[in-house]
Amino acid sequence: MGHLIPPHGGKGLTCCLLEGAELEAEKKKAEGLKKISISPRVKGDLIMMGIGGFSPLTGFMAKADWKRGCEEFLLEDGTFWPIPVTLDASKEDADSVNTGEEIALYDPEGDEIMATMKVTEKYEMSEAEKTFECEKIFMGEGTATAEEFWKIAKDDHPGVQMVMNQKEINLAGPVKVLSESDYPTKYAGIYMRPEESRKIFEENGWTEVAALQLRNPMHRSHEYLCKIAIEVCDGVFIHSLVGNLKPGDIPAEVRVKCIDTLVKNYFVEDFVVQGGYPLDMRYAGPREGLLHATFRQNYGCSRMIIGRDHAGVGDFYGMFEAQTIFDKIPYSSMEDVCKVPGHALLCKPLKIDWTFYCHKCDGMASLRTCPHSKEDRVLLSGTMLRKGLSEGSEIPDHFGRDEVLEILREYYSGLTEKVEIKLHGAATGK
């Protein structure tokens, strides 16, 4: 192995995906097992466990891991982990399987058995427990009290809605993953396993690699963030979400095309690697920022770029809460708690302030480098860009590169159904 950061957890890449004869035998066995239907989120989590993206996780969380994770960002054994990775099932399904029994996890979307799992524990997710999870995971500085949080979260927070709509029982246990779904074919050349990105970084001779998380088309701010990272690291890994988004978001294939065009025209290609990962957004802001750093460590990245309102939605989180959480949680408490080598999170944040184009600076700048006033700045946000394009209005100068806007305009002109895009405080520069 080269000098890349080791995978999280101290156990190397833990991959639950079977191959060859073992895979064929398990597939055959799975046909005879009780089938439990899974949600798109669970499907993404399974693939990540399959390819080692969620190392050291090798199954869905037991109650003790879930609870300690919510409260302390740690698994029961003291390993850092910031977000629940759980499998929900209806009471009827849960009652029909015994602890110790093996089940098949079926994806209704792709009509495919994704994995088998040995059920080691069943635990109830009552309304109170779901509420507890939501308040721990999704309640940020954007709301002062739980009462205030719930008033808006019920209707406006897709992550909260996802948890509250989960079925009544969580099933825990180790998984054997049988498929990566259609990701390897649908996103050929983009979808990447951690062992693949690590190999590329090693061949490039890189040690310090920064990851850029992307779920929106790349605009000038993203480009600037990447270029800052390239200046201080060996290279940048532009890592796009190719799992599910919310209505109104732009499909992965269009976003990938935008990145290709941008890299070709505005980057030195030797310093950029593009990849995709199969997760759904959880919209957990700061907690998700930590999760992003955790799985990027598995992909071989030592730094995670965290800008303004990372993985946020609406106004639920403070603008830089996903940066400050790295100071509050892992590094202060982890030295005491994570005594076992590998248990602590090693991937560090690359914190970058609010960036924008400034007419007086005559270039990209941030709140740390530009002394001018609001009127001189072109505030950039993915939400504003999508809204402008969706409504066919003029996109302000310096917002995006012409080559990229061209691709996006073409995509929007082909849409028959329009989704209204809501602007929130952060997007409007309030």
Which residues form the interface with Zn ion (CB under 5 A)?
358, 360-361, 370, 372
Report the C-alpha gap between 10 and 178 in whole angstroms: 25
Report the C-alpha gap between 30 and 124 in whole angstroms: 25
Using CB atoms within 10 Å of the CB of residue 20, give its burial: 0 to 12 exposed, 13 to 18 middle, 19+ buried.
Answer: exposed
Report the C-alpha gap between 208 and 205 in whole angstroms: 10
**CA geometry: angle 284, 309, 143, nearest 5 deg:** 65
The minimum distance between CB 362 and Zn ion, in angstroms, equals 8
Report the C-alpha gap between 41 and 50 in whole angstroms: 14
| Closer of 189 and 363 to Zn ion (Cβ) | 363
The minimum distance between CB 229 and Zn ion, in angstroms, equals 21
Name every residue whose Cβ is closer than 8 Å to that of residue 428 and which is 6 or more positions away in sequence. Answer: 384
| Closer of 90 and 369 to Zn ion (Cβ) | 369
Is residue 218 within 8 A of residue 266, CB to CB? The reply is no
Q: Write down the number of H helices and E strands in the chain.
A: 17, 15
| Closer of 254 and 378 to Zn ion (Cβ) | 378
The minimum distance between CB 223 and Zn ion, in angstroms, equals 18
Q: Is 215 a catalytic site residue?
A: yes
Q: Which of 41, 193, 215, 287 is catalytic?
A: 215
Q: Which of 193, 216, 255, 287 is catalytic?
A: 216
CA proximity to 272, closest of 197, 324, 335, 337 = 197
Strand positions, DSSP E, 178-330: 209-214, 235-241, 272-277, 303-306
The minimum distance between CB 377 and Zn ion, in angstroms, equals 7
| Closer of 151 and 360 to Zn ion (Cβ) | 360
- The count of other CB atoms within 10 Å of the CB of residue 71 is 10
The minimum distance between CB 360 and Zn ion, in angstroms, equals 4
Write down how long the chain is.
430
The minimum distance between CB 228 and Zn ion, in angstroms, equals 16
Amino acid letter for position 84 = P
Please report where in the chains the tokens 């994995």 appear, as a residue.
115
- The count of other CB atoms within 10 Å of the CB of residue 379 is 17
Q: Is 265 a catalytic site residue?
A: no
| Closer of 246 and 372 to Zn ion (Cβ) | 372
The minimum distance between CB 282 and Zn ion, in angstroms, equals 35
Report the C-alpha gap between 414 and 425 in whole angstroms: 30
| Closer of 154 and 372 to Zn ion (Cβ) | 372
Please report where in the chains the tokens 């693949």 appear, as a residue.
196
**Catalytic site positions:** 215-216
